Amino acid sequence: MSGDRDRSVELIENAVGRQVPTVVNGQQARPFGGVAEPPPGGAKHGPPIRSAAHYPADGDKRVPDLKTALERCGLKDGMTISTHHHLRNGDQVAVAALQAAADLGVQDLMWFPSASFPCHEPVIDLMERGVVHHIEGSMNGPLGAYCSHGRMSGLGVLRSHGGRWQAIQDGEVHIDVAVIAAPTADAFGNADGSHGPSACGSLGFALADSIYADHVIVVTDHLVPFPCIPWQIQGNNVDCVVEVDSIGDPGKIVSGTTVVTRSPDRLLIAEYVARFLRDAGIMRDGFSFQAGAGGIALAFVGYIRQMMIDAGVKARFVRGGSTSYLVDLLDAGLTDYILDGQTFDLAGVRSIGEDPRHVATSPFTSYNYHGKGNFASMVDAVVLGATEVDLNFNANVVTHSDGMLLHGIGGWQNCLFSGCTILAVPSFRDRIPVIVDEVTTVTGPGELVDVIVTERGIAVNPLRTDLLEALKGSDLPIRPIQEIKAEVETLVGGPPARPRLGDEPVAVIKWVDGTVIDTVWRVPEKSEAQ
Amino acid sequence: MSGDRDRSVELIENAVGRQVPTVVNGQQARPFGGVAEPPPGGAKHGPPIRSAAHYPADGDKRVPDLKTALERCGLKDGMTISTHHHLRNGDQVAVAALQAAADLGVQDLMWFPSASFPCHEPVIDLMERGVVHHIEGSMNGPLGAYCSHGRMSGLGVLRSHGGRWQAIQDGEVHIDVAVIAAPTADAFGNADGSHGPSACGSLGFALADSIYADHVIVVTDHLVPFPCIPWQIQGNNVDCVVEVDSIGDPGKIVSGTTVVTRSPDRLLIAEYVARFLRDAGIMRDGFSFQAGAGGIALAFVGYIRQMMIDAGVKARFVRGGSTSYLVDLLDAGLTDYILDGQTFDLAGVRSIGEDPRHVATSPFTSYNYHGKGNFASMVDAVVLGATEVDLNFNANVVTHSDGMLLHGIGGWQNCLFSGCTILAVPSFRDRIPVIVDEVTTVTGPGELVDVIVTERGIAVNPLRTDLLEALKGSDLPIRPIQEIKAEVETLVGGPPARPRLGDEPVAVIKWVDGTVIDTVWRVPEKSEAQ
């Protein structure tokens, strides 16, 4: 089936000057029009009305296996199957579900994971066989490479966590069958991620799927008598429950422990970030921040923790991905709450399962741009990464400078709405500068990026005169972004080579409102003639 | 405005032989067609898509007062305002909201409370003035009398808790503005009922309103810094937050304590119910039951508690309305969980606020018939009341034998789906027999009522041969329902007089699937000529 995509697409220039397709996988696509969108209009998707008359009165929705469940849910050619990625690289359910679909002889599915990982590499074979037509969702590793080389039948569509909720809620993506891997569940379909042998913490990424899909299958290796308490997925939305021996490899679902960076440069970046928040007056009683599980972010938490203790300051809430570093803040009384979107290590899983101050959130509460606000804009500061950033602070998180699509967006776009968005990045990687004239793929518009922190200095977006004012008198190395860029280029021998790209779109990057902010272009395979 | 209703309605006979209107308040109405409904078809209601771009980035949605909030929400003539009844007879928010609407000069509103109480009597004046056109929702006390006498402009529509969710979800009732009284909230609109000076426990009855209404206003007297944890209402669905001095009278919101019956007859009924569950083998390890806050139900909990201890039996869950009696079971380790729909006394409020095993539920999880099942059918036994029951076990909970509409349905209809539905009723009240030839208003079809327990004996529905079989050998007074009826009539001097009713519908009773199961007819006022 591979290669049947119509390669002649109509392109249009969007508000950040990028050429984007007007049609994506047969559906009209709107070009990114700027951050301040007009009222979207329209109504949220209404899933089919069901009747309790057609579900077992005793609540027992178990069926023998995934194949039976998919049959009961009426799986047919061309439908969309969704999965979530809370089991990360340990997930065994998504591939099992798609293989069960293959066993049923179904073709041309759209697979709609909240993200995919190297463990999902068998899906390449299913794409080659035409079982899966294309993937909409983050593609980390081999699937990203497959897509980058233009071997997927449809266009890849990358969305942020909030953008995925928005697309489902707004009816842009219709899920026929959602398959939800659940570390704990009851036979009615109530499910949760905080307990069981494959515990992964929050199941928030699967929540939209459970609410809006036509059919919902819960797959668990830890069935408990009704009621499964707490429940994050409600059995009232679930059609079938499948019990399996194992939903995943616990060692790959969560890290035993998450590890702070040891690189002196990166430690310096982390320290700069913490000092920046302190000196700018953002670190004050009742403040909030979000930091993920990367090495720099973890080191940052260590620095800010000490500064909070020294200043006698307590946070109102911190946001994860949660790790032992955030749990330590909670246990030490340095924050009232952890608002957790996903749970990265064993300390996080233990805490979310035991401590009512460690609260599971969903992309609806945290990120969905088509709600009546969301939590992301209420966070005082967020510490993020990037693969590239340009002189206008536009940033890239999905492609490398060689054009290869190797990363997902995660909550990155959504977090840009925080009070102070900080990209904490080394000034170069593998002798390739991070600050460039033009990013390969615009993932976030520069007007939302406030600060770039590198080991060579800190660049503040000139739009943020308030931050520049607040930092007067600080001994932090605040420098124009152009100056840092020039210094790095001198050091590594010039700006990075522009990637050699084809002129065929292989994927699009959606903005948080469902518009297309950039296109990912085909990267020729090494074997191809020039 | 009162009296402008078109009194010439077309009637049709439904599956329980009752004449019901084909049009209710200008909308087509389907007659009840039996318990086993065909697939309903159609899609759930999709509320308008909003954008975070049009809500404050700092999450502060406070406006000065209810009037401003209603203006912001675009309140206009003919719209629908909803409120919830978790503050019961202590509620001060619903009337304040409707009066604020009156101050704005708005007319012809539909008021859509989850239930109304005597404290809402001022709404009669608003109906006389044309501000409120009619009420859809339970009308306890004076509003019920007003409706019964045909003084309301539109038809009253009574729905069960689950039926109200179904009607909102299915788009049968479109809520323009939901006003949610919240014992605790943050400025973003996250709200909860378990803490604060006006704590009322669960806020589950307001959940559908928050999800499906066009606009949502949260009114609170206890504003906390974001995030309000736990939240049952999500700020992402909320437009405005209004801070007031008090949302209600705490003494009337929850009882200090709920009180068991002292009547020897009613104590005997309660004991019979408990013995029935024991002797029928329903009271076994891991079983579940639901009992409310009435005097008989509370006494029943005392009896079953002792029988559970004696037999060494533990429940998996019990369902409330929760009271100190259910909390005692939880504290004593006699149940794993309380699944709570509303919280009736201070012990219940304390427990739901502190104990993670005491779980707030909503009509969606518990009762909505248009979901993929619900909890009600998974409960092994439920103990309910009734005003009347007939020889076919059809039962009435909304009208008295004089035809007056004085009670709401609550979760009563929804609970009929339990494994064993027991109506625990005195055989007569004020010398009026409870078992009658024909109930004034069919609220639930007899095929779902399994057992009638009176102080004069226990009648088992002949359809439940399994229960009759299980009870063989029990020394409980199992008797044919006809026999109990005849005995009571002998005692009180014959069957009750049939009420003198007009031929004008004043309200309809909806079944759990949205069909009309019966009509409430106008009761002439005493002052009216014969």
What's the mean pLDDT in A250-275?
90
Instruction: Check pLDDT > 50 for residue A151.
Output: yes
Q: CB count, 10 Å around CB of B225?
A: 11
Backbone angles phi, psi at B321, to 5 degrees: -35, 125
Q: What is d(CA B273, CA B261) in angstroms, rounded to the nearest whole number?
A: 14
Tokens representing A497? 């080579």
Amino acid identity, position A311: A
What phi and psi, each to the nearest 5 degrees, are found at residue B280?
A: -80, -5
- d(CA A193, CA A201) in angstroms, rounded, equals 5
> Contacts from A477-481 at CB under 8 Å and sequence distance 24+?
A477/A272, A481/A391, A481/A393, A481/A435, A481/A452
* Residue A170, strand partner residues: none
Residues of B in contact with A515 (CB under 8 A): none
Contact between chains at B50 and A371 (C-beta distance less than 8 A): yes
**Does residue B82 register a pLDDT over 60?**
yes
Cα separation, B27 vs B321, in Å, equals 33
DSSP letter at B240 equals E
Q: Is-contact A80 A109, C-beta < 8 A? A: yes
Q: What is the pLDDT of residue B1?
A: 36
Which part of chain A is CATH 3.40.1080.10? 11-32+58-255, 264-501
| Ordered alpha helix ranges (H), B367-523 | 412-415, 465-470, 481-492
CA A383, chain centre distance (Å) = 15
* Chain B hits for A186, Cβ within 8 Å: none
Looking at residue B30, the DSSP 8-state letter turns out to be P
DSSP state of B499: P
pLDDT category at B184 given cuts 50, 70, 90 is very high
Tell me B21's DSSP state.
Answer: E
CA-nearest of B486, B271, B292 to B407 is B292
Taking the Cβ of residue A39 and every Cβ of chain B, the question of whether any pair is shorter than 8 Å is answered with yes
With a cut of 70, say whether residue A6 has pLDDT above it. no
Over residues B221-229, the mean pLDDT reads: 98
Tracing tokens 């974001």 back to the chain, one arrives at B226
- Cβ contacts of A375 on chain B, cutoff 8 Å: 59, 227
pLDDT reading at A23 higher than 70 = yes
On the CB side of B364, how many CA atoms lie within 13 Å of its CA? 23
- Give the tens place of pLDDT for each residue, B389-403: 999 999 999 999 899
Per-residue DSSP letters for A140-194? Answer: -THHHHHHHTT-SSS-EEE--HHHHHHHHHTTSS--SEEEEEESEE-TT--EESS
Average pLDDT taken over every residue of chain B: 95
Per DSSP, the three-state class of B251 is helix
ipTM: 0.96
Q: Does B362 touch chain A (CB under 8 A)?
A: no
Cis amide prior to B227 (ω within 30 degrees):
yes
Answer whether B369 sits within 8 Å of A45, measured CB to CB. Answer: no
Give me the residue label for tokens 């019979």. Answer: B272
Buried b (16+ CB within 10 A) or exposed e, A192-216: bbbbbebbbbbbbbbbbbbbbbbbb
CA gap A307, A272 in Å, rounded? 12
What pLDDT does residue B259 have? Answer: 82
Residue B41's pLDDT is what? 96
Q: What is the pLDDT of residue B8?
A: 66
Asked whether the beta carbons of A337 and B227 are under 8 A apart, the reply is: yes
Strands A315-319 and A381-384: unpaired
Picking from B232, B202, B332, B279, the residue whose alpha carbon sits closest to that of residue B453 is B279
Is A276 part of the contact surface with chain B (CB cutoff 8 Å)? Answer: no
Query: What is the reported pLDDT for B530?
Result: 46
Would the CA dihedral through A415, A417, A418, A421 be positive or negative? positive
Residue A85: phi and psi, rounded to 5, are: -120, 25
Q: Which CATH architecture has domain B264-499?
A: 3-Layer(aba) Sandwich (3.40)
Q: Is the pLDDT of residue B5 over 80?
A: no
Do B57 and A372 touch, CB atoms closer than 8 A? Answer: no
B529 touches chain A (CB under 8 A): no
Q: What is the pLDDT of residue B428?
A: 96
Over 50: is that where the pLDDT of B3 sits? Answer: no
Whether residue A321 contacts residue A340, with contact meaning beta carbons closer than 8 Å, is answered with: yes
Categorize the per-residue pLDDT at B258 as very low, low, confident or very high, splitting at 50, 70 and 90: confident
Residue with tokens 């088509």: A370
Q: Per-residue pLDDT for A26 more than 50?
A: yes
Residue found by looking up tokens 């000490």 in the block: A306
Whether residue A7 is predicted with pLDDT greater than 60 in this model: the reply is no
Segment A323-346, tens digit of pLDDT: 999 999 999 999 999 999 999 999
Using one digit for the tens of pLDDT, what is the confidence trace for B472-522? 999 999 999 999 999 999 999 999 888 778 889 999 999 999 999 999 999
Given a cut of 90, whether residue B466 has pLDDT beyond it is yes
Contact B304, B334 (CB under 8 A): no
Closest CA to A159 of A441, A439, A515, A405: A515
Which residue would you say has higher pLDDT here, B261 or B275?
B275
What residue type is assigned to position B321 of the chain? Answer: G
Tokens at B152, concatenated: 């309301």
Per-residue pLDDT tens for A120-136? 999 999 999 999 999 99
Q: How many CB atoms lie within 10 A of CB A232?
A: 22
Spell out which residues of chain A touch residue B37, defining contact as CB-CB under 8 Å: 51, 53
**SS3 label, residue B274:** helix
Task: Tell me how many degrees the CA angle A372-A378-A379 measures, rounded to the nearest 5.
Answer: 145
Is A382 in contact with A421 (CB distance < 8 Å)? yes
Distance between CA atoms of A49 and B472, rounded to whole angstroms? 43
Superfamily per CATH, domain A264-501:
Glutaconate Coenzyme A-transferase (3.40.1080.10)
Count of other CB atoms within 10 angstroms of residue B486: 13
Is the CB of A43 less than 8 angstroms away from the CB of B47? Answer: yes
Q: Where in chain B is the domain with CATH 3.40.1080.10?
A: 11-23+60-136+173-253, 264-499
In B, which residues are within 8 Å of A59 by CB distance? 373, 375, 377-378
HSE-up of residue B76 (Cα within 13 Å, Cβ side): 3
> In the numeric block, which tokens belong to residue B383?
């103990």
Q: Which of residues 483-512 of A touch B (CB under 8 A)?
A: none
Distance CA B323, CA B343 (A): 7
pLDDT tens by residue, A476-508: 999 999 999 999 999 999 998 887 787 899 999
Handedness of CA A192, A196, A198, A202 (dihedral sign): positive
State the number of CA atoms in the 13 A half-sphere of A412 facing the CB: 28
Tokens of residue A334, six digits: 């340095």
A380 vs A278, A284, B159, CA distance in Å?
Answer: 12, 10, 45
Cβ distance A59 to B230 less than 8 Å, yes or no, reads: no
Tens of pLDDT, residues A62-97: 999 999 999 999 999 999 999 999 999 999 999 999
What is the DSSP-derived secondary structure letter of residue A36?
Answer: S
Out of A44, A316, A372, name the one closest to residue B236 (CB): A372
CA neighbor of B214 nearest in space, from B176, B174, B256: B176
User: According to the model, what pLDDT value does residue A3 have?
Assistant: 44
Domain A11-32+58-255 class in CATH: alpha beta
- Fold classification of B11-23+60-136+173-253 is Glutaconate Coenzyme A-transferase (3.40.1080)
Sign of the alpha-carbon dihedral angle for B383, B453, B468, B417:
negative
Among B346, B307, B310, which residue's Cα sits nearest to residue B325?
Answer: B346
Interchain CB contact of B237 with A (< 8 Å): yes
Name chain B contacts of A357, Cβ cutoff 8 Å. 229
Q: Which of A378, A415, A421 to mutate to test the interface with B (most CBs of B within 10 A)?
A: A378
Half-sphere CA count of A385, side-chain side, radius 13 A: 21
Average pLDDT of span A172-179? 98
Q: What is the pLDDT of residues A187-246, one digit of tens each?
A: 999 999 999 999 999 999 999 999 999 999 999 999 999 999 999 999 999 999 999 999
Of all residues in chain B, what percent carry a pLDDT higher than 70?
Answer: 98
User: Which residue bears the tokens 């009597």?
Assistant: B121
Q: Are B289 and B380 in contact (CB under 8 A)?
A: yes
Q: Tokens standing for A493?
A: 């021998």
Kindly state the DSSP code that residue B110 receives in the 8-state scheme: E
Q: For residue A50, give the nearest of B49, B235, B371 by CB distance.
A: B371
The length of chain A, given as a count of residues: 530
Rounded distance, CA A321 to CA A292, Å? 5
Distances (CA, A) of A374 to A441, B161, B200: 26, 29, 27
Chain A residue numbers with beta carbons less than 8 Å from the beta carbon of B238 are: 372
Residues B138-159, mean pLDDT to the nearest whole number: 94
A49 vs B226: CB contact, 8 Å cut-off? Answer: no
- CB A54 to CB B39 under 8 A? yes
